Every structure is written in structure tokens, then in C-alpha cells.
Amino acid sequence: MKFRSLLAAALLFVSVGVFTASATPIAAFTGQTVTSSSRTELGRLSRNGVPQTWTAQEPYPGVVNPTTAYYYNTYTINYADLVPNNYIEVSFTDTNGANGVFLSAYANSFDPTNKALNWLGDAGASEYFSNSDAVTFQFSINYQTNVVFVVNTTGANGVGLNNPFDFFVSSYTDTNYDDTAVTGVVTPEPSTFIELGTGLLAIAGVARRRVMAA
């Protein structure tokens, strides 16, 4: 009886273990700032070196060079695609590492004449300032809030145009990186099945010896 109970517990442990909890990937954007699809704004957000996070509020960075024209593109994610996870994490890569583009996030809409309005946060830096690694930032949204991402050039006279970039958006239910989405059963590789079988046999052997000793 003890042997059967131990074996059943081992199988239950394995069956639970093959379920995983991870981020819900919302969207992946790959593009470049090009004149044909970009709009212009006067001034741009300052890169204050402070990333927005769920637990530490980044101060609004303000605007630099308010009379200089910069190019920008916008990308929108609807609230329906974010439900029920309202804690958002973004990873942004300046693909050529040229310090030419910058990413920020806004709630529902972006007004280039009032960049403080609806601002949710940014990474505080372009990739170049982060040792050529992707920069990340986090923010949370309220009920029925769409998210508008703004990618802008960082230099005057068209510097940053045609600069490739990509960014990835994931969502969580809380600040512990929990995710309520069902991810399904992970299918182990053949070698994993072998290791799994060996482990179960070992557990069974120990249990049988204990039963015989009793």
C-alpha cells in the first residue's frame, strides 16, 4: 500500500511539473523609422537614465530641444489583447546600436504637442546607453486602456531615420511575474522521458525495499 501511494505521489508530482507558468507574449514589432511612414514632432523626450518599473515610479523626463524636429512612429495595442494581465513589460532593441531611436508608452493616445499627457513610461535610455543590450521597462494600465508605443528618432537633421529596431511586449497579472494564461502541457524531449523513467524506477525501488523491510 505504501509502495502504491509513493508511486502515485511521484506520478502526480511529474504531471503537475509539466505545466508551466510564464509571461503572456502580447506582440512583437519590427520596423524602422522612415520618412514615408513617420510623422514629425518638435522636441523629444529626454533620456533621463531611469527606467519605469512596476515598483518604482519614474519621474516624467521632460522634453529636450523643443524647436528641433524629430521623426516618430506609433504602434497601438488594444486593451482587449491585454486582458486580464495589466502589468506590462517591454523589451526594446536598437538593432544597429546607433543610439538613433527611443521608445516610450502612452495610455490611449499620443499628443506630440503635449508629451506629458497620457505618458506611461519609458526605459530612460536607448540601447547604446545600455552597453548594446536590449533595454526594458514596465508599467501598469487601468481598465479599458489601450497602449500607444512611440518610437522617435533621437538626433536632429534626420539622424536616426531608417534605423531598424524591434520591441517585444509581455503581460502579467501582478508584480510577481505571475500569469493566469494556460500554457498547456510541455512535451519532454526523448532524453527527458528516459530520465523521468529512471527516476520513477528509483523511487519505486526504494519504496519496495522499505515495504519488504517492514
Q: What percent of the chain has pLDDT over 90?
A: 41
Provide the CB-side half-sphere exposure for 101 (13 A, CA). 30
pLDDT digits (tens, 9 = 90+) for 125-173: 887 555 557 899 999 998 889 999 999 999 888 888 888 889 999 989 8
Alpha-carbon span 30 to 44, nearest angstrom: 21
- The DSSP element (H or E) to which 111 belongs, if any, is none
pLDDT score, position 147:
95
Alpha-carbon span 150 to 108, nearest angstrom: 12
Domains annotated for the chain, with CATH where assigned, are 2-20+187-213 (no CATH), 24-172 (2.60.120.380)
Contacts for 99 with CB less than 8 Å, ≥ 6 apart: 126, 127, 128, 129, 154
In whole numbers, what is the pLDDT of the chain averaged over residues? 75
pLDDT digits (tens, 9 = 90+) for 48-64: 999 999 998 899 999 99
- The DSSP element (H or E) to which 48 belongs, if any, is none
